[in-house]
Amino acid sequence: MRGWAIFCAVFAVANILIFRPRAAGERRLRRHGRVTTAVCRAHLNALGDGPMRVRCGYQLRPDGAEFHAVVRTREHIPQVGEEFKVVYDPREPNLAESLDVTRTPLFGREDIFALAMWTGLFLVGTGCSAAAG
């Protein structure tokens, strides 16, 4: 049982170090993000069975300065040169995500989901260990 508790504690620390920064940025996009039109500049490799990564550019100011970001997209993979909607952070304009990804239920909540999952596994494993011992 002690090995199981150590394993879950190590995962809790890894959860904080890995998932938390990304989820915090996603939560900021969910709360404060602004929608704009971006142009697909290039396709990058797909992340396994997950979304396609797309390099895009978008203009936020009348002076023509373009911001660039790599975003994920699920519903529609834009062709190079095609316009699509992204959500960007006004405080950090290079932080963006495609609009379809921001509408998924887990967007900005992966750290909470992962922690809940491992807490449940810890409780089940502890209960099974206590019942067997």
Query: What angle, 0 to 180 degrees and rounded to 10, lies between the N-to-C axes of helices 110-132 and 2-32?
Result: 160
- Rounded Cα gap, residues 133 and 108, in angstroms: 40
Q: Whole-model pTM above 0.95?
A: no
**What total number of domains does the chain contain?**
1
Cα–Cα distance, 116 to 100 (Å, whole number): 25
Beta bridge partners of 52: 46, 73
123 confidence band (pLDDT: 50, 70, 90): confident
pLDDT higher than threshold 60 for residue 47: no
Q: Which domain holds residue 36?
A: 2-132
pLDDT of 88 higher than 70? yes
